[in-house]
Amino acid sequence: MSAPRITTYREFWPHYLREHAKPRTRAIHYVGTGFATASLVTAIVTENPWFLVVMLFAGYGPAWIGHFFIEHNKPATFAYPLWSLFSDFRMAFTWLIGGLGSELAKAGVGSR
């Protein structure tokens, strides 16, 4: 039996955080998000579209490794691709400004 489909981003964000409960999973996401962003900027600056391919592998590769081998769950990207992409950046930014702990607590993710 599958879980009911999430219909709003407000519902999705806590779900996303629970799917990234382990600090190592979040850390590998930050690395992937950073590499993907750097690849996008490089593609724009150099006008070389091959960096867009690099961007996909740089972003999704580490994230999926984190889910399959650390978190042991299925990436939310498969069911909610745009919300997941936005949430990758939101999670990284929230972590950078020091607000992720409270977001995790609100989502019911305990510190590990």
In a domain, 64, yes or no: yes
| 1 domain-assigned | no
Question: Would residue 85 count as lying in a domain?
Answer: yes
Residue 41, in any domain of the structure: yes
In a domain, 14, yes or no: no
Q: Which domain holds residue 83?
A: 20-106
**The pLDDT of residue 1:** 58
> Do 107 and 18 meet the contact criterion of CB atoms below 8 Å apart?
yes
Could you tell me if residue 13 is inside a domain? no
The string of pLDDT tens digits covering residues 44-101 is 999 999 999 999 999 999 999 999 999 999 999 999 999 999 999 999 999 999 999 9
In this structure, is residue 2 part of a structural domain?
no
Count: domains in the chain: 1
Please state, in angstroms and rounded to a whole number, the distance separating the CA atoms of residues 66 and 15. 16
Q: What single-letter DSSP state applies at residue 8?
A: S
DSSP string spanning 27-91? Answer: HHHHHHHHHHHHHHHHHHHHT-THHHHHHHHHHHHHHHHIIIIII-S--GGGT-HHHHHHHHHHH
pLDDT of the residue at 2: 65
